[in-house]
Each structure stands twice: as C-alpha cells, then as structure tokens.
Amino acid sequence: MPWMTMDRMRTEVAIVGAGPAGLLLSHLLAQDGIDSVVVETRSREYVESRIRAGILESSSVELLDSVGLGKRLHDDGDHHRGIYLQWPGERHHLDFVDLVGRGVWVYGQTEVQKDLGRARDAGGQRIVYEVADTAVRDVTDRPHVTFTVDGRPERLDAEVVVGCDGSFGPSRGAVPETVAGTWTRTYPYSWLGVLADVAPSTDELIYAWHPDGFALHSMRSATVSRLYLQVPNETDLAEWPDERIWAELAVRIGPERVPGPITEKSVLPMRSYVMAPMRHGRLFLAGDAAHIVPPTGAKGLNLAISDVALLAPALTALLRENDPRLADAYSDTALRRVWRCTHFSWWMTTMLHRGGAGPDADFEAQLQQSQLRWVVSSQAGATGLAENYAGLPIGY
Ligand code: PHB
C-alpha cells in the first residue's frame, strides 16, 4: 500500500499484550517515570472477561498492595488459610497459615484485569486495542513493533520491547530458534471447567482424587462456583449436558452441591511449556509468552506477576542509569521461579489425575494415594505443598 503513510509512535518500552503481565508492567514502569505503549490484538472487553484461575499468592498480593492495586482485592477477595485434599472416604484440610505462615487470596483474574485497566486509565496509559498483523522487529538493533489498526499500518519504536502476548503471540517467534531452548509436556487429559450461579459448598478449595478422574471445587464469590472435572483430551462439550456435569461432580467430590444454572462451560487442554532465555537483545518475554503451566497449582497469574516484578526495576536501571546488570540477570532469575512452579504444577497434576487404563495406571493410582496420604499426614509433606502453593518469595 505505497499510498498510505505509516503512522509512527515512539516510547521507551513497547509492550505487546494487555493481559495482566503487560498492564502490570506498564503500571510499574509508570511509577518509575518510564513511558510505555501497550498494543493488544483483542478488545478490552475480551481481555477483561477471559476466565483464568483466580488464586493469588501472598507475594503477589504484597506486590499489588505496594503499588496501590490491592484495595478491591482486600474488599471483595477472599483470604483462604489453605485447601482440602480428598479421595474417596477421606477429606483433609491443609492449613498453610499454620504450616508456613501465609495463605492465599481467591480473587478472579478477570477482577485483577479490571483493577489494572482502571489504574492504567487513571494514569493516562496509551493502550491500542484490536490491532492486527503485529510483528516484533529488529530486536538486536533498533527494536520496534509494527501492526495495523483498522487496516492502517503503524510503527512503534522503543528502547526495549517486552512480549507479554501469551503463548500464541508474535513475540516468542522473534527469538531465533538457534538462540532459544524450549521444553514442553502435553498431559494426556484436559479439564472441563464450568462457572455456575451456585453458592460454593465449601469454605476453601477442594482438590479431589477419584478413580473416575480428578475434580476441583473452586469459587468466584459467595454465589458463584467454579468447578472442574478431568476429561479425556478432545472432549466434545456436547457430551456433557449440565445434568451429567452435576452428577459427575457429586460422584467425584461429594453430594453436597445443589445444582444450578451453568453460565460458562469450556474444555481446557493441559500443558507445560518453558522457553529460555526469556530475553533476546532488547526483547524481553514475561508471563505466558515464555512459560505455560497446567492450572492445577494456579500458578500462571502469579508467575506473570513475579516476572514483571523482576523486569520493571531491571528496565528502570537499564534505561535510567544505563546499568544492565539486572536486565542481564532477568532471564536466569525469573527462570529459577518458573521451573519451581513448573515442577510444582506438574507434581500436583500427576498426583491428582488418573492416567490411562491398564496395569501401569493401576500401579500409578496406588502411588498417588500413597503420596496423598503422606502429604496430609506428614509435617514435611504438608509443609512442602503449602510452601509452594502459598508461594515462594518473588526473588526465589
Ligand atoms: C480457579 O478458581 O479457576 C482455579 C483455582 C485453583 C486451581 C485452578 C483453577 O488450581
């Protein structure tokens, strides 16, 4: 389109993706006086209604508090001391506060996203939603992002580009395959997740091992439950009418729930993915752009928060003092925590889900039950789970 002139913008940090990682990074940078522009493929309504696990570790809450984002979380969120682990005939409470001195907050990612959106509105943040054809370019020399808005080409020049655009976004592809290592695991099962206008039948989350498959009772508020069932990969939602879901939840978790209206239903594949290094030249990756965890330990949002908590001071030192030390250390420091959470999520997943059929699966089921019994009855076992679930310090 030679007749169209390309609009050009300039900023210090170009952020690709307006999910929690991108918006929180723009917030932290603004507090240090660093200018950023965020570009996002989706609409604001879409990113604010995207349903994800809603558990915040205490270090995530402390960070949000320290930058003025904790008010509604404390008013409307729910502090939980721990979780329940159960298998047929037994339910045990693990009290994280007793075990490791800190609990977790139940506060939906949609709410975190809305709080961030409002804070960025108040800060006059430039965010361009619904862009197309996004490409991250020239990251080892003159980093910039190109995209189109309503078919019009635009170019955003920056000192640094940060990819917060998830595992399907373009940033990851800007790290050459010769530079990046990737580690993946696809789990042989998925979750069927539902949101229901039903009061939770429990005060804290229930993680249930069952011979028919794992089930989880989570919640969003006093009147809304979030429930999950392990299902085979490629499950067709048409096979799961509401009555079948309620019946299966009753079998796997217990009969306490009163069925009610299901307002959302989806199948979530489960995978682990890590890409390293989380930096190439002047491109940095944060959150799902660099790593994916299965939802069993609810670590995804917490990892996004801890990545940007490390990255913001690193970029401030780089851009304000020309000091590259924190930026150079970013990938290694972030990856220590990423691998810890990847291991924890894998461990929770494989401890709680039924594998395939046959003698190996029966053997595995015995090991799982032995492991569960050890976790709930040994101080060391319980403390290990609690320490990881309630979260390690951000610099871990
Ligand atoms: C959720 O509330 O969606 C949720 C909670 C805990 C998990 C996963 C998902 O481990």
Residue 359: asked if its preceding bond is cis (omega within 30°), the reply is no
Give the nearest ligand 1 atom to 106 CA: 2
Q: Give per-residue pLDDT as tens, 187-230.
A: 999 999 999 999 999 999 999 999 999 999 999 999 999 999 99
Q: Give per-residue pLDDT as tens, 122-146.
A: 999 999 999 999 999 999 999 999 9
CATH class of 3-54+108-180+277-350: alpha beta
Residue 244 has pLDDT above 90, yes or no: yes
| Residues 201/256, Cβ–Cβ less than 8 Å | yes
Length of the chain: 396
Which of the pair, 257 or 386, is modelled with greater confidence?
386
pLDDT (0 to 100) of residue 6: 80
pLDDT (0 to 100) of residue 56: 97
CA atoms of 301 and 313, how far apart (whole Å):
19
pLDDT (0 to 100) of residue 53: 84
CA atoms of 261 and 199, how far apart (whole Å):
11
- 298 within ligand 1 shell (Cβ under 6 A): yes
- Which residue type does 250 have? A
CA atoms of 241 and 263, how far apart (whole Å):
12
The maximal CA–CA distance of the chain, rounded, in angstroms, is: 72
C-alpha 218 to ligand 1 mean position (Å) = 6
Q: Which contacts (CB < 8 Å, 24+ apart) does range 388-391 have?
A: 388/297, 388/340, 388/341, 388/344, 389/83, 389/96, 389/104, 389/297, 389/344, 390/57, 390/58, 390/96, 390/100, 390/102, 390/103, 390/104, 391/57, 391/58, 391/59, 391/60, 391/102, 391/104, 391/302
Q: Which contacts (CB < 8 Å, 24+ apart) does range 118-121 have?
A: 119/27, 119/68, 119/69, 120/23, 120/26, 120/27, 120/38
Pocket test for ligand 1, best of 219, 226, 299 (most atoms within 8 A of CB): 226
| Residues 215/249, Cβ–Cβ less than 8 Å | yes
Residue 250 has pLDDT above 50, yes or no: yes
Lowest mean pLDDT among 4-8, 321-325, 360-364, 380-384: 4-8
Average pLDDT over residues 288-297: 96
Residue 333 has pLDDT above 70, yes or no: yes
Collapsing DSSP to helix, strand or coil, 157 comes out as strand
Q: In the annotation, is 114 catalytic?
A: no
pLDDT (0 to 100) of residue 334: 97
The percent of residues above 90 in pLDDT, for the chain, comes to 93
DSSP run (H or E) holding 74: helix 71-76
pLDDT (0 to 100) of residue 182: 96
Q: How far is CA 69 from CA 113, 125, 178, 195, in A?
A: 11, 15, 39, 26
CA atoms of 190 and 168, how far apart (whole Å):
19
Q: How far is CA 97 from CA 43, 94, 100, 128, 380, in A?
A: 39, 9, 6, 42, 15
Q: Give per-residue pLDDT as tens, 13-45.
A: 999 999 999 999 999 999 999 999 999 999 999
Residue ranges of domains in the chain: 3-54+108-180+277-350, 187-270+357-390
Residues pairing with 101 in the sheet: none
DSSP run (H or E) holding 216: strand 215-219
Pick the CATH number of 187-270+357-390 from 3.40.50.720, 3.30.390.50, 3.30.9.10, 3.40.50.1820: 3.30.9.10
| Residues 265/282, Cβ–Cβ less than 8 Å | no
Residue 263 has pLDDT above 90, yes or no: yes
Residue 378 has pLDDT above 90, yes or no: yes
| Strand ordering across the sheet containing 144-149 | 7-10, 152-157, 144-149, 132-137
CA angle 344, 268, 89 (to 5 degrees): 65
pLDDT (0 to 100) of residue 1: 47
Residue 356 has pLDDT above 90, yes or no: no
Residue 4 has pLDDT above 70, yes or no: no
Same fold, 3-54+108-180+277-350 and 187-270+357-390: no
C-alpha 118 to ligand 1 mean position (Å) = 24
| Residues 365/358, Cβ–Cβ less than 8 Å | no
pLDDT grade, residue 54 (50/70/90)? confident
- 11 within ligand 1 shell (Cβ under 6 A): no
Which of the pair, 388 or 51, is modelled with greater confidence?
388
- 218 within ligand 1 shell (Cβ under 6 A): yes
C-alpha 132 to ligand 1 mean position (Å) = 31
Collapsing DSSP to helix, strand or coil, 152 comes out as strand
Give the nearest ligand 1 atom to 108 CA: 2
- Which residue type does 192 have? L
